[in-house]
A and B are shown apart, each in its own frame.
Chain A
Amino acid sequence: MERRISQRYGPFFEPIHSLEREYQRTRPNNAPRSLVLNTGTVVDAAGSGYVELGKTKVIVAVQGPRPPIRIRGGVENTMNGRITCEVVKSSFCYYSYESTRMANVGRGVSEEERLLSTRLVRVFEPIVILDKYPKCSIDLYVVILEDDGSAFAAMTLATSLALADASIEIISVVSSVTVAISTKQEYLVDPDRTESECAVGLITVSLPLHAAQLCEIQHTGKLSIQVWLSAVQLAVEVAQTIGNSMCQFLLQEMEKNETPSLCS
């Protein structure tokens, strides 16, 4: 039995070439899809966030800081906290051969989900101030409700919201965006599923908003160095605008929830 991760979501009802020809992007190349943000979606969690990027929908719940549930050898004695993550793709998040087969077999953690959770932990390890939570674990539970491209970017945004909602100390809000390079060498910001599949290159960049640094870059596809660098540049710019609107949203939410102080 071979274990493979399929990057393609097919099979479609028509071959990919014809999809590419007929497909028309309805918004400008450098515009992301409409963004919906929400916090406090999950009542029982310490903090939660919900993000919609077009049709991509992701919900994240944060539990903790709390004592680790599953203690691994040696870990409980560390003076730093740790982050664990569990990603679940809903069985209806996209139509694919893999997912239909999965539904029949009954599912454990798939390889793709495991990779996504390691990636998410790695993005947030330098961001969360783990020194402040010794011997604790911060657990992230991610559900991808629908995946119409750029799911990892949506996951990162939602986790940022959830961490802020849980009042966990972080050095900055993390913003993230995916850029696809189409066969015509166009840069498509925040591609949907069709665009990601037809792309020759797909770059996801995550960055903390208040530091001139990058948290994570993942790129697949073959590109020359020049093209790649300019695509990263574009991704950084767009991620910053997305991050700014996310900060505004968080400030609004905070003002809404602020209870009037007793003294005045």
Chain B
Amino acid sequence: MYAVSKAEKAYLLDTIETGTRLDGRQLFEYRPISLQVGVLPSASGSSRLRLGETEVLVGVKVEVGDVVESSNDNVQLLFTVECSGSASADFLGREAESWSSELQNALESAYRAANVFDDERLSLVPGKFCWLFKVDILVLDTGGNMMDAISMATRTALSTTLVPRVHIVQSEGSFELEIDDNPDACDTLKVEKAPTFLTFSLIGNHFVLDPSIQEETCARGKLSVAVDANGDICHVYSFGLLDAVELSRLLTIIKKTGKVLLNRLDECVKNGESS
């Protein structure tokens, strides 16, 4: 468990009061992000993302699954977050479970709300078969702000995911799926609608974006918002006493920063570089 001494905490609070942070960032600035895609050859899509000290690895596996509970969705997303015990002492025993279920729940709800894969091409047999995207997220190292790192890595992993072309053969009322013989016949997923999280910590009376682990330990509250490229809100979770007046100011910042961040991510994937 990460701990800070009283003196450290006082120093951190004083620094933030002056409008800068311990690592020299502005209050609403991200740490450097580095990104790698296609790191797992056996997965349909994968990415590895480093945000400051936080490091996550995401693998996507594409399968065909049965439709559950009379839903009409073409795609079913299953998120699994695993917090590696080697990353932090917080992740030993039952603590890890509550961390992972919280992160998983937030991601699931944001992606459901954003309705990301509303795509004609992904249609299989409606009401019978659907695509099953299993997104496995592994937190390798924690340096604060896992939520944002996870959401960015998930988005990039999904954007590089290849979905094989499938022909539907109907025989005697039952459907059979045949995968195209050409292994290169794949579609990439459109992820324009996929949201990303932006997390603020409330330290003293100031909100800081992308908190490091020291800042998270000293924080008295958190605000985590999922936005998509249009600036629509897909998920919000906050705790700790915060002023209602602050909210609207923060949301404009969130909208602006979210857009820049998403564009930057898309660019990076397209150009195959890291920033």
Give, as a whole number of angstroms, the nearest-CB distance from B43 to chain A: 17
Q: Which residues of A in the span 60-93 have a Cβ within 8 Å of any Cβ on B?
A: 74
Binds B, one of A29-37, A152-160, A220-228: A220-228
Q: Which chain B residue lies CB-closest to A15?
A: B70
Tell me the complex Cα distance, A118–B94, Å: 13
By beta carbon, the residue of chain B nearest A233 is B244
Alpha-carbon gap, A210 to B105, bound state (A): 32
A7-27 Cβ-contact flags toward B at 8 Å (1 or 0): 110110001000000000000
A3 B80 Cβ-Cβ under 8 A: yes
B112 within 8 A of A: yes
B247 touching A232, Cβ below 8 Å: yes
Q: Mark A204-229, 1 if CB is under 8 A from B, else 0.
A: 00001001111111111111110011
Is A97 at the interface (CB under 8 A from chain B)?
A: yes
Report B27-59 CB contacts with A as 1/0, cut-off 8 Å. 000000000000000000000000000000000
A44 touches B (CB below 8 Å): no
Whether the pair B113, A5 counts as a contact (CB closer than 8 A) is: no
> For A8, what are the chain B residues with a Cβ–Cβ distance below 8 Å?
69
> Are A7 and B109 in contact, with the CB atoms below 8 A?
yes
Interchain nearest-CB distance for A186 vs B (Å): 18
B248 — which chain A residues lie within 8 A by C-beta? 225, 229
Q: Mark B96-117, 1 if CB is under 8 A from A, else 0.
A: 0110011011001100111100
The answer to whether B251 and A225 have CB atoms under 8 Å apart is yes
CB-contacts of B115-141 with A (<8 A): 115
- Where chain B touches its partner, the secondary structure class is mixed
User: In this complex, which of A213, A220, A224 has the most chain B Cβ atoms within 10 angstroms of its Cβ?
Assistant: A220
- Contact between A115 and B236, CB atoms less than 8 A apart: no
Say if the beta carbon of A4 comes within 8 Å of chain B. yes
* Interface size of B in residues (CB-CB distance below 8 Å): 41
Residues of B within 8 A of A5 (CB): 101, 104-105, 108
**Of all chain B residues, which has the CB nearest A219?**
B236
Q: In the complex, which residues of chain A have a beta carbon less than 8 angstroms from the beta carbon of B149? A: none
Asked if B232 CB lies within 8 Å of chain A CBs, one says: yes
Is A220 a contact of B247 with CB atoms below 8 Å?
Answer: no
Query: Across the interface, which residues of A come within 8 angstroms of B108, CB to CB?
Result: 4-5
Q: In the complex, what residues of A have CB within 8 A of residue B238's CB?
A: 214, 216-218
* Chain B min CB distance to A127 (Å): 8
Tell whether, in the assembled complex, residue A114 and residue B244 are in contact, meaning their CB atoms are under 8 Å apart: no
Are A2 and B113 touching (Cβ within 8 A)?
no
Closest chain B residue to A171 by CB distance?
A: B241
Taking CB atoms, residues of chain A closer than 8 Å to B115 are 222
A214 to B97, CA, bound (A): 27
Given A4-B108, A5-B101, 18 other A-B contacts at CB below 8 A? A11-B70, A74-B1, A115-B101, A126-B241, A203-B236, A211-B241, A212-B243, A214-B238, A215-B239, A216-B239, A219-B236, A219-B237, A220-B113, A222-B233, A222-B234, A225-B231, A228-B236, A232-B247
B61 within 8 A of A: no
Taking a contact as CB atoms under 8 Å apart, the answer to whether B243 and A223 are in contact is no
Count of interface residues, chain A, beta-carbon cutoff 8 Å: 42
Closest 7 CB pairs of A and B: A219-B236, A122-B239, A222-B113, A213-B241, A217-B238, A220-B109, A221-B113
Chain B residues near A213 (CB, 8 Å)? Answer: 241-244
Asked whether A232 and B70 contact (CB < 8 A) given A3-B80, A115-B101, A118-B98, the answer is: no
Whether B155 sits at the interface, judged by CB under 8 Å, is no
Whether A214 contacts B241 by the Cβ 8 Å rule is yes
Residue of A nearest to B101 (CB): A111
Subset of 25 A-B contacts with CB under 8 Å? A5-B101, A11-B69, A97-B69, A114-B97, A115-B98, A115-B105, A126-B241, A208-B241, A212-B243, A213-B244, A214-B242, A215-B241, A216-B238, A216-B239, A217-B237, A218-B236, A218-B237, A219-B237, A222-B114, A222-B232, A223-B233, A224-B233, A225-B251, A225-B255, A232-B244
The yes or no answer to A123 lying at the interface (CB within 8 A) is yes
What's the Cα separation between A231 and B78 when bound, in Å? 30
- Most chain A beta-carbon contacts within 10 A, residue among B78, B108, B113, B233: B233
A236 contacts the other chain (CB 8 A):
yes
- B235 interfacial by beta-carbon distance below 8 Å: yes
B225-269: CB near A (< 8 Å → 1, else 0) gives 000100111111111111111011001100100000000000000
Is the beta-carbon distance between B101 and A3 smaller than 8 angstroms?
yes
Query: By the criterion CB–CB under 8 Å, are A118 and B102 in contact?
Result: yes
Residue-wise, chain A 119-131 has the 8 Å CB interface mask toward B (1 for contact) of 1001101100000
Within the assembled complex, what's the spacing in Å between the Cα atoms of A2 and B78? 8
Interface core residue of A4, A119, A236 (most chain B CB under 10 Å): A4
